[in-house]
Amino acid sequence: MIGLIAATAAGRRAAVQLADALGADACRVYDAPVGEALRTAFGECEQLVCFLATGATVRLLAPLLAAEGSDKHTDPGVVCVDEARRFAVALIGGHEGGANALAARVAAALDAQAVITTATDATGLAGLDTLGLSVTGDLAAVSRALLDGEPVRLVGAERHPLPAFPANVSADAPAGAPTIVVGDELPADDGEFATVQLQTPSLVVGVGASKGAPAEEIRTLIRETLAEAGLSERSIACLATVTAKADESGLLTVAQELGVPVEIFEADTLAAVDVPNPSTAPLQAVGTPSVAEAAALLAAGANELLVPKRKSTPEGRAAMATVAIARKPARGRLAIVGLGPGARDLVTDRARAELRRASVIVGLDQYVDQIRDLLRPGVRIEATGLGAEEERARSAVRLTQQGLAVALIGSGDAGVYAMASPALAEAGDDIDVVGVPGVTAALAAAALLGAPLGHDHVSISLSDLHTPWEVIERRVRAAAEADLVVTFYNPRSRARDWQLPKALAILAEHREAATTPVGIARSVSRPDQWHSVTTLAALDPTDVDMFTVVTVGNTASRQIAGRFVTPRGYRWQG
């Protein structure tokens, strides 16, 4: 819940507007004297927006922050908005309380400017606590060294696909420098120098349990086993077991407490896994000689166990639980990111986030230039010139296989006549892949032309460099016969000038040349954007080049008030 607190009439109006924008269900507006309102809201809400001066807010918050039970990790994030609603200031809880993100949302809703002062965001560095990994240790000291440009040692970078760090962070910084350790071990208690431990979610705990095994017994066994092996509970990715134990309540309770899922495997599947300690008891009970060890290995995709099977040791009765632990091998992360047609405000927020999530950017140099300022300092750039598509795709996959966080970028949507397919044709199941959709040229052009895609439509590339012309022609003919609206990509270049007239002639065999609208849209959303709506008969091919898409209407498409409209075909539209 987001608490909204206002003292003045203007503040209350802004609060109502904000509640409308964020969703009334997600917000609660507090009136009454502001001091009391803030105290109540502080206890009830995850986030607060105060339509108050920062000074007043700080004075009201101070006793709450000093009170017993107040904690940076659980206190609400607080945003202040000034009376003239020009600024949304993230006041406390920038990262963990979500105030930085909330300030951005509030700013968007009220047309104000977000003010973010947490250093790592302000300077574009990776905030160590924003990587989605659990963090322990001296975060403040290591972050400060990171920002001050002091040498910071990075240990275990190969164990998780991390975003880029600036040049002062490296594996060979001197021992004794502030250190970032990445892994699933318990943080070393090394009082000497500042250390931050980023816990990778890489441990799988295989669990075998007799019917009715108490949660407490399973919990204790897991805790002791991890501690003895020097492993951190925060690094548990999941528990794993056999289908017959999927509803075992003690096991489910422990998974819920740990906040991790339970992966379930069929007994047959587990029985096929080669394990160090098979036994007859589970074979008789559930049909596999190993549950804990086999499930841990399978769920982790590992060949060997970190900790072989251990039994619980309850006092005065037989053990009811077993565990074994395996480590997931590090997997690289390939983001395939569409950057949209060109304009900066058509790059989605998700695309931006993925660009900042990566440590390596792979793409055509002209696209890299388009987004260079969105990248983190220290990011590695693998830009190549036109052509070399296969090589680019292969290099993105190879880098990902090395365990890195790679972003493969492309204009429009990266899957439309672009890099996604050659890359995924190369990729195996040993990497993670995340796709980010982008606004493809056909859609960007359509928005400019009017509503040409209101009914069934198709895209056809006229480039016969990689596709034989016979294939292209067959598809154009099929589209013509099916009366589809057609958008031509790669329509015409200096060396390929006969294909477009040929394709248009085929369409004209099935639709009225004099009246069928044709939209030409060049460099959409870029500074030299140009578009025109003409007809099949009147189109001048020299208006068309490789930065253009050409959209041809179906037999129902019309020009209305200079706009290209394809009727949706509802009866009420006649």
Measured from the CB atom, the residue of 6 and 418 that comes closer to ligand SAH is: 418
Q: Are 38 and 61 in contact (CB under 8 A)?
A: yes
Q: Give least dist CB 1 to ligand SAH, A.
A: 40
**Which residues make beta-bridge pairs with 195?**
179
Measured from the CB atom, the residue of 341 and 553 that comes closer to ligand SAH is: 341
Measured from the CB atom, the residue of 249 and 366 that comes closer to ligand SAH is: 366
Alpha carbon of residue 247 to chain centroid: 32
Measured from the CB atom, the residue of 76 and 412 that comes closer to ligand SAH is: 412
> For residues 98 and 117, what is the distance between their CA atoms, to the nearest angstrom?
13
DSSP state of 418: S
Q: Give least dist CB 549 to ligand SAH, A.
A: 4
Helices (H) and strands (E) in the chain, counts: 18, 29
Beta-strand runs (E) in 328-436: 333-338, 360-364, 380-384, 405-410, 432-436
The DSSP secondary structure of 28-58, one letter per residue, reads: EEE-S-HHHHHHHHHHH-SEEEEES-HHHHH
Residue 108 CB-half CA count within 13 A: 9
Alpha helices in 365-491 (DSSP H): 365-371, 389-401, 420-426, 441-449, 469-481
Q: Are 364 and 384 in contact (CB under 8 A)?
A: yes
Q: Give least dist CB 517 to ligand SAH, A.
A: 17
Residue 426 CB-half CA count within 13 A: 18
Measured from the CB atom, the residue of 129 and 413 that comes closer to ligand SAH is: 413
Q: Give least dist CB 385 to ligand SAH, A.
A: 15
Helix (H, G, I), strand (E, B) or coil at 243: helix
Owner of token pair 């900042």: 356
Measured from the CB atom, the residue of 30 and 417 that comes closer to ligand SAH is: 417
Measured from the CB atom, the residue of 187 and 341 that comes closer to ligand SAH is: 341
Q: Give least dist CB 466 to ligand SAH, A.
A: 12
Q: Give least dist CB 544 to ligand SAH, A.
A: 9
- Specify the DSSP element, H or E, that contains 351: helix 349-357
Q: Give least dist CB 500 to ligand SAH, A.
A: 11
Residue 401 CB-half CA count within 13 A: 13
DSSP state of 412: B
Q: How far is CA 42 from CA 48, 65, 88, 252, 542, in A?
A: 7, 10, 18, 33, 65
Beta-strand runs (E) in 498-553: 517-522, 530-535, 548-552
Q: Give least dist CB 262 to ligand SAH, A.
A: 40
**Which residues make beta-bridge pairs with 236?**
203
Measured from the CB atom, the residue of 275 and 524 that comes closer to ligand SAH is: 524
Helix (H, G, I), strand (E, B) or coil at 432: strand
Q: Give least dist CB 249 to ligand SAH, A.
A: 50
Q: Give least dist CB 438 to ligand SAH, A.
A: 6
Q: Which residue is nearest to ligand SAH (CB)?
A: 412
Q: Give least dist CB 175 to ligand SAH, A.
A: 48
- Specify the DSSP element, H or E, that contains 293: helix 292-300
Measured from the CB atom, the residue of 417 and 564 that comes closer to ligand SAH is: 417
Q: How far is CA 83 from CA 9, 28, 52, 317, in A?
A: 10, 19, 7, 68
Measured from the CB atom, the residue of 94 and 342 that comes closer to ligand SAH is: 342
Helix (H, G, I), strand (E, B) or coil at 478: helix
Question: Which residues of this chain interact with ligand SAH, rule CB under 6 A?
Answer: 341-342, 410-413, 416-418, 440-441, 445, 489-491, 521-526, 546-549
Measured from the CB atom, the residue of 282 and 342 that comes closer to ligand SAH is: 342
Measured from the CB atom, the residue of 85 and 522 that comes closer to ligand SAH is: 522
Helix (H, G, I), strand (E, B) or coil at 394: helix
> For residues 504 and 488, what is the distance between their CA atoms, to the nearest angstrom?
10
Measured from the CB atom, the residue of 496 and 563 that comes closer to ligand SAH is: 496
In 3-state terms the chain splits into helix, strand, coil percentages (rounded to 5) of 35, 25, 40
Q: Give least dist CB 557 to ligand SAH, A.
A: 19
Q: Give least dist CB 413 to ligand SAH, A.
A: 4
